Chain A
Amino acid sequence: MATAELNRDLSAIRRLIAKAKRYDLAFSAVGFLFLAFGILVFTALLVDMAVSGAGRLSLDFFANFPSRRAEGAGILSAWVGSVMVMLVTAAFAIPFGVAAGVYLEEYARKNWFTDVIEINISNLAGVPSIVYGLLALGLFVYQFGFGQSVLSAGLTLALLILPIIIVATRESIRSIPQIIREGSYALGATKWQTTSHHILPYSLPGILTGVIIGLSRAIGETAPIITIGALTFIAFLPPSPITSSPPYFNFEWLASGFTVMPIQMFNWTSRPEEAFQANAAAAGLVLIVMTLSMNAFAIYLRYRLRKNIKW
Protein backbone atom coordinates (compact mmCIF):
# COMPACT_ATOMS: atom_id res chain seq x y z
CA MET A 1 0.00 0.00 0.00
CA ALA A 2 1.58 3.15 -1.20
CA THR A 3 0.35 5.37 1.59
CA ALA A 4 1.22 2.88 4.31
CA GLU A 5 4.76 2.93 3.12
CA LEU A 6 4.54 6.67 2.83
CA ASN A 7 3.55 6.93 6.45
CA ARG A 8 6.65 5.09 7.53
CA ASP A 9 8.86 7.18 5.29
CA LEU A 10 9.02 10.30 7.39
CA SER A 11 11.35 12.19 5.14
CA ALA A 12 8.95 11.80 2.23
CA ILE A 13 6.11 13.09 4.38
CA ARG A 14 8.18 16.02 5.46
CA ARG A 15 9.07 16.96 1.91
CA LEU A 16 5.43 16.77 0.91
CA ILE A 17 4.36 18.97 3.79
CA ALA A 18 7.14 21.44 3.11
CA LYS A 19 6.04 21.76 -0.49
CA ALA A 20 2.42 22.30 0.50
CA LYS A 21 3.47 24.89 3.04
CA ARG A 22 5.32 26.82 0.39
CA TYR A 23 2.00 27.37 -1.34
CA ASP A 24 0.60 28.44 2.00
CA LEU A 25 3.28 31.04 2.40
CA ALA A 26 3.08 32.19 -1.21
CA PHE A 27 -0.64 32.77 -1.02
CA SER A 28 -0.36 34.53 2.29
CA ALA A 29 2.16 36.89 0.74
CA VAL A 30 0.06 37.46 -2.37
CA GLY A 31 -3.04 38.14 -0.30
CA PHE A 32 -1.24 40.61 1.88
CA LEU A 33 0.26 42.33 -1.16
CA PHE A 34 -3.12 42.73 -2.83
CA LEU A 35 -4.54 44.15 0.38
CA ALA A 36 -1.61 46.50 0.69
CA PHE A 37 -2.02 47.55 -2.93
CA GLY A 38 -5.66 48.41 -2.38
CA ILE A 39 -4.81 50.49 0.64
CA LEU A 40 -1.95 52.07 -1.27
CA VAL A 41 -4.25 53.19 -4.07
CA PHE A 42 -6.60 54.69 -1.51
CA THR A 43 -3.73 56.56 0.08
CA ALA A 44 -2.52 57.75 -3.33
CA LEU A 45 -5.97 59.12 -3.98
CA LEU A 46 -6.02 61.03 -0.72
CA VAL A 47 -2.51 62.32 -1.18
CA ASP A 48 -3.22 63.38 -4.75
CA MET A 49 -6.20 65.41 -3.61
CA ALA A 50 -4.29 66.93 -0.77
CA VAL A 51 -1.23 67.85 -2.78
CA SER A 52 -3.11 69.33 -5.71
CA GLY A 53 -5.74 71.09 -3.76
CA ALA A 54 -4.47 72.04 -0.35
CA GLY A 55 -3.00 75.22 -1.72
CA ARG A 56 -6.39 76.49 -2.71
CA LEU A 57 -7.97 75.94 0.66
CA SER A 58 -8.60 79.19 2.41
CA LEU A 59 -11.42 81.02 4.07
CA ASP A 60 -12.07 82.75 0.75
CA PHE A 61 -12.53 79.43 -0.90
CA PHE A 62 -15.44 78.65 1.35
CA ALA A 63 -16.91 82.10 1.09
CA ASN A 64 -16.68 82.81 -2.63
CA PHE A 65 -18.96 81.96 -5.45
CA PRO A 66 -17.55 80.09 -8.44
CA SER A 67 -16.28 82.41 -11.09
CA ARG A 68 -14.60 82.38 -14.43
CA ARG A 69 -11.37 83.28 -12.82
CA ALA A 70 -10.00 80.21 -11.15
CA GLU A 71 -8.16 82.08 -8.41
CA GLY A 72 -11.23 83.81 -7.17
CA ALA A 73 -13.57 80.87 -7.39
CA GLY A 74 -15.05 79.35 -4.30
CA ILE A 75 -17.54 76.76 -3.18
CA LEU A 76 -20.01 78.89 -1.31
CA SER A 77 -23.02 78.06 -3.41
CA ALA A 78 -21.94 74.44 -3.53
CA TRP A 79 -21.66 73.74 0.16
CA VAL A 80 -24.71 75.76 1.08
CA GLY A 81 -26.61 73.86 -1.58
CA SER A 82 -25.34 70.58 -0.23
CA VAL A 83 -26.49 71.46 3.28
CA MET A 84 -29.95 72.46 2.09
CA VAL A 85 -30.41 69.37 -0.03
CA MET A 86 -29.26 67.21 2.88
CA LEU A 87 -31.89 68.79 5.11
CA VAL A 88 -34.62 67.81 2.68
CA THR A 89 -33.15 64.34 2.21
CA ALA A 90 -32.96 63.69 5.91
CA ALA A 91 -36.45 65.06 6.49
CA PHE A 92 -37.92 62.51 4.11
CA ALA A 93 -35.60 59.55 4.33
CA ILE A 94 -35.40 59.18 8.08
CA PRO A 95 -39.11 58.98 8.95
CA PHE A 96 -39.98 56.85 5.93
CA GLY A 97 -36.97 54.58 6.31
CA VAL A 98 -37.32 53.99 10.02
CA ALA A 99 -41.09 53.51 9.76
CA ALA A 100 -40.65 50.99 6.95
CA GLY A 101 -37.97 49.14 8.90
CA VAL A 102 -40.14 49.01 12.01
CA TYR A 103 -43.10 47.76 10.02
CA LEU A 104 -41.11 45.01 8.32
CA GLU A 105 -39.57 43.76 11.53
CA GLU A 106 -42.36 44.14 14.04
CA TYR A 107 -45.66 44.17 12.21
CA ALA A 108 -45.38 42.46 8.86
CA ARG A 109 -46.88 39.04 8.51
CA LYS A 110 -45.25 36.38 6.41
CA ASN A 111 -47.27 36.70 3.25
CA TRP A 112 -46.58 37.25 -0.40
CA PHE A 113 -46.90 41.01 -0.21
CA THR A 114 -44.23 41.23 2.47
CA ASP A 115 -41.99 39.20 0.19
CA VAL A 116 -42.71 41.63 -2.62
CA ILE A 117 -41.74 44.55 -0.41
CA GLU A 118 -38.53 42.86 0.63
CA ILE A 119 -37.53 41.95 -2.90
CA ASN A 120 -38.32 45.50 -3.91
CA ILE A 121 -36.06 47.01 -1.30
CA SER A 122 -33.28 44.60 -2.18
CA ASN A 123 -33.62 45.51 -5.83
CA LEU A 124 -33.80 49.26 -5.24
CA ALA A 125 -30.51 49.04 -3.39
CA GLY A 126 -28.92 47.86 -6.61
CA VAL A 127 -30.54 50.27 -9.06
CA PRO A 128 -27.93 52.61 -10.56
CA SER A 129 -28.16 56.08 -9.10
CA ILE A 130 -28.65 57.64 -12.51
CA VAL A 131 -31.94 55.79 -12.91
CA TYR A 132 -33.14 57.57 -9.79
CA GLY A 133 -32.12 60.74 -11.58
CA LEU A 134 -34.31 59.80 -14.54
CA LEU A 135 -37.20 59.08 -12.21
CA ALA A 136 -36.75 62.48 -10.64
CA LEU A 137 -36.46 64.25 -13.94
CA GLY A 138 -39.57 62.73 -15.43
CA LEU A 139 -41.70 62.66 -12.33
CA PHE A 140 -40.61 65.31 -9.86
CA VAL A 141 -39.28 67.96 -12.18
CA TYR A 142 -41.89 67.81 -14.89
CA GLN A 143 -44.95 65.78 -14.01
CA PHE A 144 -45.23 66.95 -10.41
CA GLY A 145 -43.91 70.34 -11.35
CA PHE A 146 -41.35 70.72 -8.62
CA GLY A 147 -38.89 72.00 -11.15
CA GLN A 148 -35.13 71.84 -10.99
CA SER A 149 -35.06 72.66 -7.35
CA VAL A 150 -33.70 71.81 -3.96
CA LEU A 151 -36.92 69.95 -3.26
CA SER A 152 -36.53 67.64 -6.24
CA ALA A 153 -32.94 66.93 -5.38
CA GLY A 154 -33.72 66.19 -1.76
CA LEU A 155 -36.56 63.85 -2.65
CA THR A 156 -34.44 61.98 -5.17
CA LEU A 157 -31.61 61.43 -2.76
CA ALA A 158 -34.08 60.41 -0.07
CA LEU A 159 -35.38 57.65 -2.34
CA LEU A 160 -31.82 56.65 -3.11
CA ILE A 161 -30.73 56.17 0.48
CA LEU A 162 -34.04 54.73 1.69
CA PRO A 163 -32.85 51.12 1.34
CA ILE A 164 -29.73 51.87 3.38
CA ILE A 165 -31.76 53.27 6.26
CA ILE A 166 -34.35 50.49 6.07
CA VAL A 167 -31.70 47.78 6.20
CA ALA A 168 -29.86 49.46 9.07
CA THR A 169 -33.11 49.83 11.02
CA ARG A 170 -34.04 46.22 10.46
CA GLU A 171 -30.66 44.86 11.48
CA SER A 172 -30.68 46.99 14.58
CA ILE A 173 -34.17 45.90 15.58
CA ARG A 174 -33.39 42.28 14.82
CA SER A 175 -30.60 42.26 17.36
CA ILE A 176 -33.00 43.00 20.22
CA PRO A 177 -33.74 39.70 21.99
CA GLN A 178 -37.28 38.41 22.07
CA ILE A 179 -37.25 38.40 25.86
CA ILE A 180 -37.42 42.17 25.94
CA ARG A 181 -40.56 42.25 23.82
CA GLU A 182 -42.16 39.48 25.82
CA GLY A 183 -41.44 41.31 29.03
CA SER A 184 -43.20 44.37 27.69
CA TYR A 185 -46.25 42.51 26.40
CA ALA A 186 -46.51 40.55 29.62
CA LEU A 187 -47.07 43.82 31.44
CA GLY A 188 -50.03 44.59 29.22
CA ALA A 189 -48.41 46.95 26.76
CA THR A 190 -49.75 47.23 23.21
CA LYS A 191 -47.63 46.67 20.17
CA TRP A 192 -47.10 50.34 19.53
CA GLN A 193 -46.27 50.99 23.18
CA THR A 194 -43.69 48.23 23.07
CA THR A 195 -42.29 49.60 19.85
CA SER A 196 -42.10 53.20 20.91
CA HIS A 197 -40.96 52.61 24.49
CA HIS A 198 -38.55 49.76 23.93
CA ILE A 199 -37.75 48.79 20.37
CA LEU A 200 -37.06 52.23 18.98
CA PRO A 201 -34.93 53.53 21.85
CA TYR A 202 -32.84 50.37 22.01
CA SER A 203 -32.24 50.23 18.28
CA LEU A 204 -31.44 53.92 18.01
CA PRO A 205 -27.63 53.48 17.86
CA GLY A 206 -27.86 51.14 14.88
CA ILE A 207 -30.39 53.39 13.18
CA LEU A 208 -28.20 56.39 13.76
CA THR A 209 -25.24 54.63 12.22
CA GLY A 210 -27.31 53.75 9.17
CA VAL A 211 -28.57 57.31 8.83
CA ILE A 212 -25.06 58.72 8.93
CA ILE A 213 -23.81 56.26 6.36
CA GLY A 214 -26.82 57.02 4.17
CA LEU A 215 -26.34 60.76 4.38
CA SER A 216 -22.64 60.47 3.65
CA ARG A 217 -23.54 58.54 0.53
CA ALA A 218 -26.10 61.18 -0.43
CA ILE A 219 -23.65 64.04 -0.06
CA GLY A 220 -21.33 62.44 -2.58
CA GLU A 221 -23.95 61.56 -5.17
CA THR A 222 -23.54 63.36 -8.43
CA ALA A 223 -25.35 61.54 -11.21
CA PRO A 224 -28.94 61.92 -10.07
CA ILE A 225 -28.44 65.59 -9.31
CA ILE A 226 -26.92 66.28 -12.71
CA THR A 227 -29.84 64.56 -14.34
CA ILE A 228 -32.34 66.75 -12.54
CA GLY A 229 -30.47 69.67 -13.93
CA ALA A 230 -28.62 71.23 -11.09
CA LEU A 231 -26.95 74.33 -12.36
CA THR A 232 -23.23 74.09 -12.52
CA PHE A 233 -22.44 77.71 -12.50
CA ILE A 234 -24.58 79.61 -10.12
CA ALA A 235 -23.48 82.75 -8.48
CA PHE A 236 -26.34 83.08 -6.07
CA LEU A 237 -27.59 81.35 -3.00
CA PRO A 238 -31.05 79.91 -2.55
CA PRO A 239 -33.18 82.23 -0.44
CA SER A 240 -32.55 81.87 3.23
CA PRO A 241 -35.14 79.86 5.11
CA ILE A 242 -34.92 82.22 8.04
CA THR A 243 -35.97 85.78 7.53
CA SER A 244 -35.98 88.76 9.80
CA SER A 245 -39.62 89.58 9.24
CA PRO A 246 -42.71 87.48 9.94
CA PRO A 247 -43.37 84.65 9.44
CA TYR A 248 -39.62 84.23 10.14
CA PHE A 249 -39.51 80.98 8.27
CA ASN A 250 -40.30 80.29 4.63
CA PHE A 251 -40.09 77.51 2.12
CA GLU A 252 -38.97 79.47 -0.89
CA TRP A 253 -35.56 77.95 -0.72
CA LEU A 254 -37.08 74.60 -1.62
CA ALA A 255 -38.08 75.81 -5.04
CA SER A 256 -34.82 77.47 -5.83
CA GLY A 257 -32.12 76.50 -8.29
CA PHE A 258 -28.98 75.26 -6.63
CA THR A 259 -25.76 73.35 -6.94
CA VAL A 260 -24.00 70.85 -4.71
CA MET A 261 -20.39 70.04 -3.85
CA PRO A 262 -19.81 67.04 -6.11
CA ILE A 263 -21.27 68.86 -9.09
CA GLN A 264 -19.02 71.81 -8.51
CA MET A 265 -16.08 69.47 -8.44
CA PHE A 266 -17.28 67.76 -11.60
CA ASN A 267 -17.62 71.05 -13.35
CA TRP A 268 -14.12 72.19 -12.43
CA THR A 269 -12.62 68.79 -13.33
CA SER A 270 -14.08 69.11 -16.81
CA ARG A 271 -12.29 72.39 -17.43
CA PRO A 272 -8.96 71.98 -19.17
CA GLU A 273 -7.19 74.85 -17.42
CA GLU A 274 -4.85 73.61 -14.76
CA ALA A 275 -5.88 76.29 -12.32
CA PHE A 276 -9.38 74.88 -12.26
CA GLN A 277 -7.98 71.46 -11.62
CA ALA A 278 -6.45 72.74 -8.43
CA ASN A 279 -9.87 74.07 -7.48
CA ALA A 280 -11.39 70.71 -8.26
CA ALA A 281 -8.84 69.00 -6.07
CA ALA A 282 -9.56 71.40 -3.25
CA ALA A 283 -13.29 70.84 -3.56
CA GLY A 284 -12.62 67.13 -3.69
CA LEU A 285 -10.56 67.36 -0.56
CA VAL A 286 -13.37 69.08 1.29
CA LEU A 287 -15.83 66.50 -0.01
CA ILE A 288 -13.63 63.57 0.93
CA VAL A 289 -13.00 64.93 4.38
CA MET A 290 -16.74 65.38 4.85
CA THR A 291 -17.73 61.89 3.70
CA LEU A 292 -14.83 60.05 5.28
CA SER A 293 -15.31 61.69 8.62
CA MET A 294 -19.02 60.90 8.52
CA ASN A 295 -18.26 57.29 7.63
CA ALA A 296 -15.54 56.99 10.22
CA PHE A 297 -17.83 58.53 12.81
CA ALA A 298 -20.53 56.01 11.95
CA ILE A 299 -18.10 53.10 12.26
CA TYR A 300 -16.83 54.45 15.56
CA LEU A 301 -20.37 54.98 16.82
CA ARG A 302 -21.33 51.45 15.91
CA TYR A 303 -18.32 50.14 17.80
CA ARG A 304 -18.80 52.29 20.88
CA LEU A 305 -22.53 51.80 21.26
CA ARG A 306 -22.24 48.09 20.70
CA LYS A 307 -19.94 47.86 23.68
CA ASN A 308 -22.58 49.19 26.04
CA ILE A 309 -25.22 46.76 24.93
CA LYS A 310 -25.34 43.66 27.03
CA TRP A 311 -26.98 41.40 24.52
Chain B
Amino acid sequence: MAAVLTPEITGATDANSAQALVLKAESKNFNFFYGAFQALKNINMPIYDRKVTALIGPSGCGKSTYLRSFNRMHDLYPGNRYEGEIMMYPDSVNILAPTIDPIEVRMRISMVFQNPYPFPKSIFENVAYGLRVRGVNKKSVLEDKVEEALRGAALWNEVKDRLDSLAFNLSGGQQQRMCIARALATDPEILLFDEPTSALDPIATGAIEELVHDLKERVTILIVTHNMQQAARVSDFTAYMYLGEMIEFGVTDTIFVKPKHKATEDYITGRFG
Protein backbone atom coordinates (compact mmCIF):
# COMPACT_ATOMS: atom_id res chain seq x y z
CA MET B 1 0.00 0.00 0.00
CA ALA B 2 1.74 3.14 -1.14
CA ALA B 3 1.34 6.22 0.98
CA VAL B 4 1.48 9.80 -0.02
CA LEU B 5 4.07 12.14 1.36
CA THR B 6 2.32 14.46 3.75
CA PRO B 7 3.22 18.13 3.85
CA GLU B 8 4.40 17.94 7.49
CA ILE B 9 7.43 15.99 6.49
CA THR B 10 10.29 18.42 6.34
CA GLY B 11 12.06 18.32 3.03
CA ALA B 12 9.40 16.46 1.17
CA THR B 13 9.69 17.29 -2.46
CA ASP B 14 8.63 15.73 -5.71
CA ALA B 15 12.15 14.41 -6.04
CA ASN B 16 11.63 12.28 -2.94
CA SER B 17 8.25 11.08 -4.01
CA ALA B 18 9.70 9.89 -7.26
CA GLN B 19 11.35 7.13 -5.30
CA ALA B 20 7.91 5.73 -4.46
CA LEU B 21 8.13 5.65 -0.71
CA VAL B 22 6.17 2.81 0.77
CA LEU B 23 4.90 2.86 4.33
CA LYS B 24 6.14 -0.09 6.41
CA ALA B 25 4.83 1.00 9.77
CA GLU B 26 3.46 4.03 11.47
CA SER B 27 2.54 5.08 14.97
CA LYS B 28 -0.81 6.73 15.39
CA ASN B 29 -1.54 8.84 18.45
CA PHE B 30 0.86 6.66 20.37
CA ASN B 31 1.22 7.35 24.08
CA PHE B 32 3.24 5.36 26.58
CA PHE B 33 3.14 5.26 30.37
CA TYR B 34 5.64 3.90 32.87
CA GLY B 35 3.13 3.48 35.66
CA ALA B 36 1.73 6.96 36.21
CA PHE B 37 4.50 8.73 34.35
CA GLN B 38 3.76 9.52 30.70
CA ALA B 39 6.93 8.93 28.74
CA LEU B 40 5.59 9.39 25.20
CA LYS B 41 3.00 11.91 24.11
CA ASN B 42 0.95 11.52 20.98
CA ILE B 43 3.57 10.29 18.57
CA ASN B 44 2.55 10.16 14.93
CA MET B 45 5.46 8.95 12.87
CA PRO B 46 5.75 7.09 9.58
CA ILE B 47 8.39 4.43 9.05
CA TYR B 48 9.17 3.90 5.40
CA ASP B 49 9.94 0.53 3.94
CA ARG B 50 13.61 -0.14 3.36
CA LYS B 51 14.72 3.23 4.54
CA VAL B 52 16.73 4.13 7.60
CA THR B 53 14.86 6.28 10.08
CA ALA B 54 16.88 7.83 12.89
CA LEU B 55 15.55 8.97 16.26
CA ILE B 56 17.56 11.74 17.85
CA GLY B 57 17.10 13.87 20.92
CA PRO B 58 18.61 14.62 24.34
CA SER B 59 18.75 12.04 27.15
CA GLY B 60 15.38 11.15 28.52
CA CYS B 61 13.43 12.31 25.49
CA GLY B 62 11.85 8.89 25.04
CA LYS B 63 13.56 7.66 21.91
CA SER B 64 14.59 4.32 23.40
CA THR B 65 11.17 3.95 24.98
CA TYR B 66 9.63 4.48 21.56
CA LEU B 67 11.97 2.01 19.92
CA ARG B 68 11.34 -0.69 22.49
CA SER B 69 7.61 -0.38 21.92
CA PHE B 70 8.04 -1.73 18.42
CA ASN B 71 9.07 -5.16 19.65
CA ARG B 72 6.96 -5.05 22.80
CA MET B 73 9.95 -5.16 25.13
CA HIS B 74 7.94 -3.19 27.67
CA ASP B 75 5.66 -6.18 28.12
CA LEU B 76 8.41 -7.87 30.09
CA TYR B 77 8.07 -5.49 32.99
CA PRO B 78 4.94 -4.82 35.02
CA GLY B 79 3.22 -1.46 35.21
CA ASN B 80 3.72 -0.31 31.60
CA ARG B 81 0.87 0.80 29.39
CA TYR B 82 0.52 1.47 25.67
CA GLU B 83 -2.13 3.80 24.28
CA GLY B 84 -2.76 4.38 20.61
CA GLU B 85 -1.54 2.24 17.75
CA ILE B 86 1.52 1.17 15.93
CA MET B 87 0.37 -0.19 12.62
CA MET B 88 2.48 -2.57 10.61
CA TYR B 89 1.98 -3.00 6.87
CA PRO B 90 1.17 -4.71 4.57
CA ASP B 91 -1.04 -6.60 7.07
CA SER B 92 -2.46 -3.40 8.56
CA VAL B 93 -2.26 -4.85 12.05
CA ASN B 94 -1.80 -2.89 15.26
CA ILE B 95 1.12 -4.61 16.93
CA LEU B 96 0.25 -3.06 20.28
CA ALA B 97 -3.16 -4.65 20.44
CA PRO B 98 -3.59 -6.93 23.48
CA THR B 99 -4.87 -9.59 21.13
CA ILE B 100 -1.53 -9.69 19.37
CA ASP B 101 1.07 -12.01 20.88
CA PRO B 102 4.29 -10.13 21.67
CA ILE B 103 6.31 -13.20 20.79
CA GLU B 104 4.82 -13.10 17.33
CA VAL B 105 5.79 -9.47 16.99
CA ARG B 106 9.35 -10.27 18.06
CA MET B 107 9.58 -12.93 15.43
CA ARG B 108 9.03 -10.33 12.75
CA ILE B 109 10.83 -7.38 14.27
CA SER B 110 14.38 -7.85 15.53
CA MET B 111 16.50 -5.70 17.82
CA VAL B 112 20.19 -4.93 18.29
CA PHE B 113 21.01 -3.57 21.73
CA GLN B 114 23.49 -0.99 22.90
CA ASN B 115 25.75 -3.40 24.74
CA PRO B 116 26.57 -6.54 22.83
CA TYR B 117 25.51 -9.35 25.15
CA PRO B 118 26.50 -12.54 23.41
CA PHE B 119 24.93 -15.65 24.82
CA PRO B 120 27.34 -17.96 26.61
CA LYS B 121 27.55 -20.17 23.56
CA SER B 122 29.62 -20.55 20.43
CA ILE B 123 29.44 -18.00 17.62
CA PHE B 124 27.49 -20.46 15.50
CA GLU B 125 24.96 -21.18 18.20
CA ASN B 126 24.55 -17.48 18.96
CA VAL B 127 23.61 -16.67 15.40
CA ALA B 128 21.50 -19.79 15.05
CA TYR B 129 19.56 -19.14 18.25
CA GLY B 130 16.70 -17.29 16.57
CA LEU B 131 16.38 -20.06 14.02
CA ARG B 132 16.28 -22.77 16.65
CA VAL B 133 13.57 -20.89 18.48
CA ARG B 134 11.62 -21.01 15.24
CA GLY B 135 11.98 -24.77 15.11
CA VAL B 136 14.64 -24.86 12.41
CA ASN B 137 17.03 -27.59 13.48
CA LYS B 138 18.34 -29.14 10.30
CA LYS B 139 22.09 -28.74 10.26
CA SER B 140 22.43 -27.88 6.56
CA VAL B 141 19.75 -25.21 6.73
CA LEU B 142 21.29 -23.70 9.85
CA GLU B 143 24.76 -23.63 8.36
CA ASP B 144 23.53 -21.84 5.27
CA LYS B 145 21.53 -19.29 7.19
CA VAL B 146 24.32 -18.63 9.68
CA GLU B 147 26.79 -18.03 6.89
CA GLU B 148 24.36 -15.76 5.10
CA ALA B 149 23.72 -13.76 8.24
CA LEU B 150 27.41 -13.45 9.09
CA ARG B 151 28.17 -12.30 5.56
CA GLY B 152 25.37 -9.79 5.82
CA ALA B 153 26.95 -8.50 9.01
CA ALA B 154 30.40 -8.33 7.37
CA LEU B 155 31.79 -10.75 9.93
CA TRP B 156 32.03 -13.98 7.98
CA ASN B 157 35.65 -13.71 6.90
CA GLU B 158 36.83 -13.01 10.40
CA VAL B 159 35.06 -15.89 12.10
CA LYS B 160 34.50 -18.56 9.50
CA ASP B 161 37.31 -20.68 10.92
CA ARG B 162 36.18 -20.49 14.51
CA LEU B 163 32.44 -20.74 14.47
CA ASP B 164 32.56 -23.18 17.36
CA SER B 165 34.59 -21.00 19.70
CA LEU B 166 32.87 -18.99 22.42
CA ALA B 167 31.43 -15.69 21.34
CA PHE B 168 32.91 -14.04 24.43
CA ASN B 169 36.33 -14.17 22.82
CA LEU B 170 35.44 -11.70 20.06
CA SER B 171 36.32 -8.03 20.33
CA GLY B 172 33.61 -5.50 21.17
CA GLY B 173 33.04 -4.48 17.58
CA GLN B 174 32.99 -8.08 16.42
CA GLN B 175 30.52 -9.00 19.16
CA GLN B 176 28.20 -6.25 18.08
CA ARG B 177 28.40 -7.35 14.46
CA MET B 178 27.65 -10.87 15.62
CA CYS B 179 24.59 -9.55 17.43
CA ILE B 180 23.54 -7.93 14.19
CA ALA B 181 24.03 -11.24 12.40
CA ARG B 182 21.99 -12.89 15.14
CA ALA B 183 19.17 -10.44 14.49
CA LEU B 184 19.46 -10.81 10.72
CA ALA B 185 19.41 -14.58 10.63
CA THR B 186 15.67 -14.68 11.02
CA ASP B 187 14.90 -12.34 8.10
CA PRO B 188 13.10 -9.69 10.10
CA GLU B 189 10.88 -7.16 8.42
CA ILE B 190 12.06 -4.32 10.64
CA LEU B 191 15.42 -4.09 12.37
CA LEU B 192 15.63 -1.91 15.48
CA PHE B 193 18.98 -0.50 16.58
CA ASP B 194 19.23 0.93 20.11
CA GLU B 195 22.38 3.11 20.15
CA PRO B 196 24.36 0.29 18.55
CA THR B 197 27.73 2.01 18.46
CA SER B 198 27.85 3.98 21.70
CA ALA B 199 29.93 1.23 23.32
CA LEU B 200 32.33 0.89 20.39
CA ASP B 201 35.50 2.58 19.21
CA PRO B 202 35.42 4.82 16.07
CA ILE B 203 36.70 2.16 13.69
CA ALA B 204 34.11 -0.38 14.78
CA THR B 205 31.51 2.36 14.64
CA GLY B 206 32.40 3.08 11.04
CA ALA B 207 32.10 -0.58 10.14
CA ILE B 208 28.63 -0.77 11.67
CA GLU B 209 27.46 2.38 9.96
CA GLU B 210 28.56 0.97 6.63
CA LEU B 211 26.66 -2.17 7.48
CA VAL B 212 23.49 -0.22 8.16
CA HIS B 213 23.85 1.40 4.80
CA ASP B 214 24.11 -1.97 3.08
CA LEU B 215 21.35 -3.58 5.10
CA LYS B 216 18.69 -1.07 4.26
CA GLU B 217 18.31 -2.59 0.84
CA ARG B 218 16.83 -5.66 2.44
CA VAL B 219 15.19 -4.51 5.61
CA THR B 220 13.59 -1.46 7.18
CA ILE B 221 15.75 0.10 9.85
CA LEU B 222 14.86 2.23 12.85
CA ILE B 223 17.90 3.50 14.70
CA VAL B 224 18.18 5.42 17.95
CA THR B 225 21.34 7.43 18.33
CA HIS B 226 22.55 10.22 20.55
CA ASN B 227 25.27 11.00 18.01
CA MET B 228 23.85 13.51 15.55
CA GLN B 229 26.63 13.14 13.06
CA GLN B 230 25.88 9.45 12.93
CA ALA B 231 22.22 10.19 12.25
CA ALA B 232 23.23 12.52 9.48
CA ARG B 233 25.56 9.90 8.02
CA VAL B 234 23.36 6.83 7.98
CA SER B 235 19.73 7.80 7.88
CA ASP B 236 17.26 8.77 5.20
CA PHE B 237 14.72 10.18 7.60
CA THR B 238 15.21 11.69 11.03
CA ALA B 239 12.83 12.35 13.89
CA TYR B 240 13.78 14.79 16.61
CA MET B 241 12.22 14.00 19.96
CA TYR B 242 12.13 16.00 23.13
CA LEU B 243 10.47 15.26 26.45
CA GLY B 244 8.35 12.49 24.99
CA GLU B 245 7.09 14.41 22.00
CA MET B 246 8.05 14.23 18.39
CA ILE B 247 9.06 17.75 17.55
CA GLU B 248 9.95 17.30 13.93
CA PHE B 249 10.17 14.55 11.35
CA GLY B 250 11.69 14.84 7.91
CA VAL B 251 14.20 13.97 5.28
CA THR B 252 17.60 13.86 6.95
CA ASP B 253 19.43 16.13 4.59
CA THR B 254 16.86 18.82 4.99
CA ILE B 255 16.44 18.54 8.73
CA PHE B 256 20.12 18.98 9.36
CA VAL B 257 20.45 21.90 6.99
CA LYS B 258 17.17 23.71 7.29
CA PRO B 259 15.02 22.44 10.12
CA LYS B 260 11.55 23.88 10.39
CA HIS B 261 11.34 24.18 14.17
CA LYS B 262 13.59 26.32 16.30
CA ALA B 263 13.80 23.60 18.94
CA THR B 264 15.25 21.22 16.38
CA GLU B 265 17.70 23.83 15.23
CA ASP B 266 18.83 24.54 18.78
CA TYR B 267 19.52 20.87 19.40
CA ILE B 268 21.28 20.27 16.13
CA THR B 269 23.53 23.26 16.45
CA GLY B 270 24.45 22.31 19.97
CA ARG B 271 22.89 25.30 21.62
CA PHE B 272 20.94 22.86 23.73
CA GLY B 273 21.22 19.30 25.04
Contacts and interface: CB of A to CB of B under 8 A. Distances in A.
| Touching chains A and B, CB distance < 8 Å | yes
Interface of A: 1-4, 6-7, 10, 13-14, 16-17, 19-21
B4 interface: no
Given A2-B136, A3-B136, A17-B104, 13 more contacts: A2-B141, A3-B131, A3-B185, A3-B187, A7-B108, A7-B186, A7-B189, A10-B91, A17-B103, A19-B135, A20-B103, A20-B133, A21-B103
Interface in B209-261: none
Contacts of B145: 3
Contacts of A7: 107-108, 186-189
Interface string B176-209: 0000000001111100000000000000000000
Contacts of B141: 2
A298 B230 CA distance: 56
Nearest to A5: B187
Interface of B: 91, 101, 103-104, 107-108, 131, 133-136, 141, 145, 185-189
| Majority SS at the chain B contact face | loop
A210 B162 CA distance: 50
| Majority SS at the chain A contact face | helix
Nearest to A4: B187
Contact of A13 (B107, B131, B187): B107
Contact of A14 (B91, B101, B131): B101
B104 A14 contact: yes
A28 to B, nearest CB: 16
Contacts of B104: 10, 13-14, 17
B187 A1 contact: yes
B200 to A, nearest CB: 28
27 contacts: A1-B187, A2-B141, A3-B131, A3-B134, A3-B145, A3-B185, A3-B186, A4-B187, A6-B134, A7-B108, A7-B186, A7-B187, A7-B188, A7-B189, A10-B91, A10-B104, A13-B107, A14-B101, A14-B104, A16-B134, A16-B135, A17-B101, A17-B103, A17-B104, A20-B103, A20-B133, A21-B103
Contacts of A13: 104, 107-108
Nearest to A6: B134
Contacts of B187: 1, 3-4, 7
A74 to B, nearest CB: 55
Contacts of B131: 3
Contacts of B188: 7
Contacts of B189: 7
B176 to A, nearest CB: 22
B121 to A, nearest CB: 19
A41 B132 CA distance: 39
A2 B186 CA distance: 9
Nearest to B188: A7
A3 B184 CA distance: 11
Nearest to A18: B101
A16 to B, nearest CB: 5
Contacts of B134: 3, 6, 16
A138 to B, nearest CB: 47
Nearest to B148: A1
A88 to B, nearest CB: 49
A81 to B, nearest CB: 53
A14 B91 CA distance: 15
Nearest to B93: A10
B36 to A, nearest CB: 24
A155 B89 CA distance: 76
Contacts of A17: 101, 103-104, 107
A21 B102 CA distance: 12
A225 B185 CA distance: 64
